[in-house]
Amino acid sequence: MTSVLKISDLHVSVGETPILNGVNMEIRQGEVHALMGPNGSGKSTLAYALAGHPNYNVTAGSIEIDGVNVTAMEADERARLGMFLAFQYPVVIPGVKVADFLRHAVSNVRNPERKEGEGLIGMREFRKEIRERMTELGMDHEFARRYLNDGFSGGEKKRMEILQLAMLQPRFAILDETDSGLDSDAVRVVSEGLAKLAGPLMGVLIITHHKRLLEFNPPQFTHVMLGGRIVEIGDAALAHDLHANGYATVRARHPEAENTKAEAAAVAS
């Protein structure tokens, strides 16, 4: 069975401020979707709401995985159902090595009933697996012995993200790649890594303006967000057009989209 992530009429507020005003989207395993839109249109808000970040309140609508409503679930429960959000700014966890972190994350996802301190995937099995994945991705095995995110360069943070994807094999991967702060090494790591990993079992939502990322991972669907709503859906050609020409024409086609947001903000204040 092909898994489906279904977002229906999703309204999300941060504090009292409505940010998303009815988002609809359906992502199947094996599909690559791009989400584009000008700064402040609500793309990251959607990513956080999907992942179950506690600061993002769903006020209406739903998020379902294979018909199971996950809207009220905690982030880790969603992760166990196959949802993965790559973090833009991963935290530094003092004294935790990449391999230890991944061993816990993999154990949580594969063994949902496990309690802290038990049910960890066996060390030998895990080591073998992580080495294989790192070899496939062309990564230096030393990387697994580094302390998590401690002094990581942009490219290394992205290696971490891709290695996490490879180990967790989520059904739905959401990659929110901000344009600022990604150097060309980092863009290459994500572009090539994702192209290797995204297969028939992974549904991918890429949030980006990076041409290269989408060239390596051509989206079957491009969604354009404006004022907290998806205003247009197209294919890879739409992504190309937005890269080349920006959002002026999209804005002109949907003059109402950003007003709604201003009105909503005015009502809230």
Ligand X SMILES: Nc1ncnc2c1ncn2[C@@H]1O[C@H](COP(=O)(O)OP(=O)(O)O)[C@@H](O)[C@H]1O
Smallest distance from Mg ion to CB 141, Å: 33
Smallest distance from Mg ion to CB 43, Å: 5
* Binds Mg ion (CB under 5 A): choice among 13, 21, 41, 44: 44
Query: Binding to ligand X (CB under 6 A): which residues in 5-24?
Result: 14, 19
* Binds ligand X (CB under 6 A): choice among 2, 55, 59, 249: 55
| Residue among 99 and 174 whose Cβ is closer to Mg ion | 174
The one of Mg ion, ligand X, none whose footprint includes residue 40, by CB under 5 to 8 A per kind, is ligand X
Smallest distance from ligand X to CB 226, Å: 10
| Residue among 43 and 78 whose Cβ is closer to ligand X | 43
What gap in Å lies between CA 130 and CA 124, rounded to an integer? 10
Secondary structure in 3-state letters for the chain: CCCEEEEEEEEEEECCEEEEEEEEEEEECCCEEEEECCCCCCHHHHHHHHHCCCCEEEEEEEEEECCEECCCCCHHHHHHCCEEEECCCCCCCCCCEHHHHHHHHHHHHHCCCCCCCCCCCCHHHHHHHHHHHHHHCCCCHHHHHCECCCCCCHHHHHHHHHHHHHHHCCCEEEEECCCCCCCHHHHHHHHHHHHHHCCCCCEEEEECCCHHHHHHCCCCEEEEEECCEEEEEECHHHHHHHHHHCCHHHHHHCCCHHHHHHHHHHHHC
What gap in Å lies between CA 219 and CA 130, rounded to an integer? 28
Query: Binding to ligand X (CB under 6 A): which residues in 23-52?
Result: 37, 39-45
Select the span of 23-31, 40-48, 153-161, 252-260 touching Mg ion (CB under 5 A): 40-48
| Residue among 44 and 164 whose Cβ is closer to ligand X | 44
| Residue among 159 and 229 whose Cβ is closer to ligand X | 229
The one of ligand X, Mg ion, none whose footprint includes residue 55, by CB under 5 to 8 A per kind, is ligand X
| Residue among 33 and 43 whose Cβ is closer to Mg ion | 43
| Residue among 166 and 250 whose Cβ is closer to Mg ion | 250
What gap in Å lies between CA 144 and CA 142, rounded to an integer? 5
Which residue is nearest to Mg ion, using beta carbons?
44
Smallest distance from ligand X to CB 268, Å: 11
Q: Which residues bind ligand X (CB under 6 A)?
A: 14, 19, 37, 39-45, 55
Q: Which residues bind Mg ion (CB under 5 A)?
A: 43-44
